[in-house]
Structures are given as structure tokens and as C-alpha cells.
Amino acid sequence: MSPTYDVIVIGLGGMGSAAAHHLSSRGVRVLGLEKFGPVHNRGSSHGGSRITRQSYFEDPAYVPLLLRAYELYEDVERATGRDIATLCGGVMVGPPDSLTVSGSLRSATQWDLPHEMLDAAEIRRRFPTLNPKDDEVALYEKKAGLVRPENMVAAHLQLATRQGADLHFDEPMTRWEPYRDGVRVHTAENTYTASQLVICPGAWAPQLLTDLGVPFSIERQVMYWFQPRGGVRPFLPENHPIYIWEDADDVQVYGFPSIDGPELGAKVAFFRKGVECTPENIDRTVHEDEIGAMADHMSRCVPDLPGTFLKAATCMYSNTPDEHFVIARHPAHPESVTVACGFSGHGFKFVPVVGEILADLALTGTTAHPIGLFDPLRLAAAPA
Ligand SMILES: Cc1cc2nc3c(=O)[nH]c(=O)nc-3n(C[C@H](O)[C@H](O)[C@H](O)COP(=O)(O)OP(=O)(O)OC[C@H]3O[C@@H](n4cnc5c(N)ncnc54)[C@H](O)[C@@H]3O)c2cc1C
């Protein structure tokens, strides 16, 4: 007899660990299967920090989910004592008509979110490390800041285990099929059955969700840590906001205060601009010319940041064509399978609320959260 569960969660990265927590908190029998070890650095949920913010330039439809995510950050912090969110404030900088500035303002206005508009002189006065051009402006949001991906994943795994979930690491799913009223899941070691399957595959979506009809593209991304010229003091979170900075050529760069002690400096990265890859062929080496290009770019907007290069690491985005998420019942298996994928480089701040949505979908088939934007059918190839 194969072991039976109410729900099997595939992938225990950002989204899957949150799903395992929310499902097990509702008293159902949960099995989580993960290809690698707990809190690993081979997918999309590592590197010490992720930006979080509410004045969402991508679309105002994300705002109610962010308001809920912020409540859940506090719940997770309280339940585990782990450091999850640091709300040090954030600036979205660029020309007034850039998406970063105008899109953020649109969400802030539509949802009545506290914010301030700063001109270049005011940006320089408040944040002396930032060096905007005279025609650049910023939306300042006090509630923006960062979340810590490794702590968040570890906290969700810890809570799921405490609530009785079985979490199996280094045990990838090899395949699954519909079985009776539910599903049957195979690994090299075992076969499991369940009423419901929740698939959170990150960059493995093109392999695990071929029948979803979504043309994902996986993108290599690099994170860079520099020791600022003159030391980290002006870069500490009490003095320094997170920033997303778009220039006139639509290049977006984003960075963080110094959060992990002077030896780790401060982190910065380009948003998008990466090379297409697969989880198998991604180039994990960061090359001199890439480091030089980042240092050059930063010497214009945050001139003290690129003092000494410290280290770099790679990570993967899983992009959909419109860069909006996919969160839904699987259209080909609507009775028993739920999917969460295609987070397109901006999903981490939503991790706890996505966990809640996935538990709703798996257990009731629906959710009160607004997820209309994330329907995979919007992206399915048109029939020939
Ligand atoms: C450099 C970088 C910077 C980012 N910055 C931000 C930011 O500032 N703000 C923000 O909100 N978001 C940001 N993101 C995006 C965010 O981190 C991702 O959207 C999020 O981590 C995706 O989580 P996930 O659960 O989909 O993927 P993952 O966390 O990678 O989880 C997928 C899991 O599935 C497992 N898996 C795959 N195949 C199998 C199998 N067959 N069986 C079992 N398990 C399997 C994998 O091992 C993995 O653990 C960034 C991403 C990167 C790479």
C-alpha cells in the first residue's frame, strides 16, 4: 500500500514551504517533496534579501495581496522568533514618466497608500549616498524594505513540521498521474497517493508543467556585494532605504542597505537583463566584465557603493510573457491539481500570502484573494 495524504506539495522553496505551512495549519495530512536539501541555493529563494514594497509599479491589482503579506510577515516572526522583514523605507527612482515612478504612484494613489514624492534635491538631502540626475524624482515609501528569503523558508518549514507535515528532502518527484479521485506521485524511492497535488516548481516549471501551455523563460540573474568606499555606516538600514532605480534607457537596478555586518557590505543587482538558461546549464560563475559593468553603473547613481567588490552569486527568474504570476487550479486537472509558478523575478515578497492562497485552492477549489490576473489561460497558446 502506498502512503496516503490529503495534499502533496512538490517543491519546498519559497512558495511550497509556505503552502506546506498553511495547509498543515488547517489540520490536513501534508507531504512535501523537495529535490534538494532544506533552504538551498540552487533555485530562486536565496541571497539574503528580497525587496518588499506596497506601491507596486507592476500593477495595482497586487496591492491587496501585499497588505495581507505584510500581516503574515508578522505572524511568521511571532511564531518562530526569526527575523523576517526589515521595513527600512524605500525609494523608487527615475524620470517622472518611468514605469518605476509612474507605476508606483498609480498604485499608491489608487489604494491610498502613504507615500511622498521627492525631487532630486530632496533625494540627495535625505539620502546622501544617492546621486540622482536633476530630472530624476522618487516615490518614497516608508513601509518598503526587505524580507530575508532563507529565514522565511526556514520558518515555514519549521512551522509545517511542528504542525505534523511530513517533509522529505533530496527526494524529487519523478512523475505523477491522476489516480482514482486524486493523484499518485512517484519518486525514485516511493509512490504516494493524495486527494490533492500542489506544484511549486520555480525554475523547473518548463519541465514539470509542460501541459500548462505557458511559455516560461528561465533567466540567469546575478547579485553583487560591494564594500562601500568609506565603510558601511551610511548604508546601515537605519540610514539607508532600499532602492529601485530606472534610467532613461529602461535599465532598472535595485539595492539594499547593509544588513549582514561590515564584512558583507551591501547588495545590488540588475532587475532583468539576464541570459536565458535552464537549471541544468546556468553559468554559476560571475565574470569580471559583469562585475565591471555593475561597478560602472553604480558609480553614477550610488557613487560610494562600488568601493571593493566582495562576492557575487547567481539565481534564476521564471518569467511569463507578461511578467505576471501563474496561481490557479491546473486547467487540465481542475479537480485535483493546483499550480504556483512564473513568479517573474518579483514573487518573494508574496510568499506567505501565496501559501495561504494555495491552501485555499487545494482545500476548497477557490479563494477570497483576488487572483484573476494570475490565470494561466491568459497565456495559453491560441489554438491553431
Ligand atoms: C536574484 C533574484 C532577486 C530577486 N529579487 C526579488 C525581490 O527583490 N523581491 C521579490 O519579491 N522577489 C524577488 N525575486 C523573485 C523571488 O525570489 C522568486 O519569485 C521566488 O523565490 C520564487 O519562489 P518559488 O517557490 O517559485 O521557487 P523556488 O524557491 O526556487 O522553489 C522551487 C522548488 O522546487 C524544487 N523542485 C524542482 N523540481 C522538483 C521536483 N521534481 N521534485 C521536488 N522538488 C522540486 C526546487 O528544488 C526548489 O526548491 C528575486 C529572484 C532572484 C533570483
Q: What is the DSSP string of 144-191?
A: -EEE-HHHHHHHHHHHHHHTT-EEE-S--EEEEEEETTEEEEEESS-E
* Ligand 1 pocket residue status of 348, Cβ below 6 Å: yes
Residue with cell 512535501: 32
Using most ligand atoms within 8 A of CB, pick from 45, 56, 187 the residue to mutate for ligand 1: 45
Q: What is the CATH number of the domain that holds 291?
A: 3.30.9.10
Domain identity same for 131 and 252: yes
- 67 in a structural domain: no
Total tally of structural domains belonging to the chain: 2
* Ligand 1 pocket residue status of 202, Cβ below 6 Å: yes
Q: How far apart are CA 374 and CA 370, in angstroms?
A: 9
Domain identity same for 134 and 253: yes
Q: How far is the CA of 201 from the centre of ligand 1 (A)?
A: 8
Q: How far apart are CA 160 and CA 166, in angstroms?
A: 8
Cell numbers representing residue 43 in the block: 533555485
Predicted confidence at residue 380, as pLDDT, reads 77
Where in the sequence is the domain holding 279, given as residue range(s)? 88-146+217-319
* Per-residue pLDDT in tens (0 to 9) along the chain, 384 residues: 577 999 999 999 999 999 999 999 999 999 999 999 999 999 999 999 999 999 999 999 999 999 999 999 999 999 999 999 999 999 999 999 999 999 999 999 999 999 999 999 999 999 999 999 999 999 999 999 999 999 999 999 999 999 999 999 999 999 999 999 999 999 999 999 999 999 999 999 999 999 999 999 999 999 999 999 999 999 999 999 999 999 988 899 999 999 988 889 999 999 988 999 999 999 999 999 999 999 999 999 999 999 999 999 999 999 999 999 999 999 999 999 999 999 999 999 999 999 999 999 999 999 999 999 999 999 976 554
Q: How far apart are CA 82 and CA 80, in angstroms?
A: 5
Domain identity same for 361 and 272: no
Q: Consult the annotation and say whether 10 binds a ligand.
A: yes
How many other CB atoms are there within 10 angstroms of residue 343's CB atom? 29
Confidence (pTM): 0.98
> Which phi-psi region, left, alpha or beta, contains residue 179 (left: φ > 0; alpha: ψ -120 to 50)?
beta
Q: How far is the CA of 119 from the centre of ligand 1 (A)?
A: 35
Domain identity same for 358 and 252: no
* Ligand 1 pocket residue status of 352, Cβ below 6 Å: no
- 16 in a structural domain: yes
Which residue(s) pair with 18 in the sheet?
Answer: none
- 358 in a structural domain: yes
Predicted confidence at residue 273, as pLDDT, reads 86
Predicted confidence at residue 272, as pLDDT, reads 87
Instruction: Tell me the C-alpha to C-alpha distance, in Å, between residue 6 and each of 2, 27, 221, 332, 343.
Output: 13, 10, 36, 20, 26
Q: Consult the annotation and say whether 286 binds a ligand.
A: no
Helices within the chain (DSSP H only):
14-25, 63-80, 99-110, 120-126, 149-162, 205-208, 288-301, 351-364
Give the three-class secondary structure for 379: coil
* Ligand 1 pocket residue status of 20, Cβ below 6 Å: no
Q: What are phi and psi of 251, to 5 degrees?
A: -80, 130
Cell numbers representing residue 127 in the block: 539620502
How many other CB atoms are there within 10 angstroms of residue 119's CB atom? 15
Cell numbers representing residue 39 in the block: 533552504
Q: How far apart are CA 123 and CA 45, in angstroms?
A: 31
- 384 in a structural domain: no
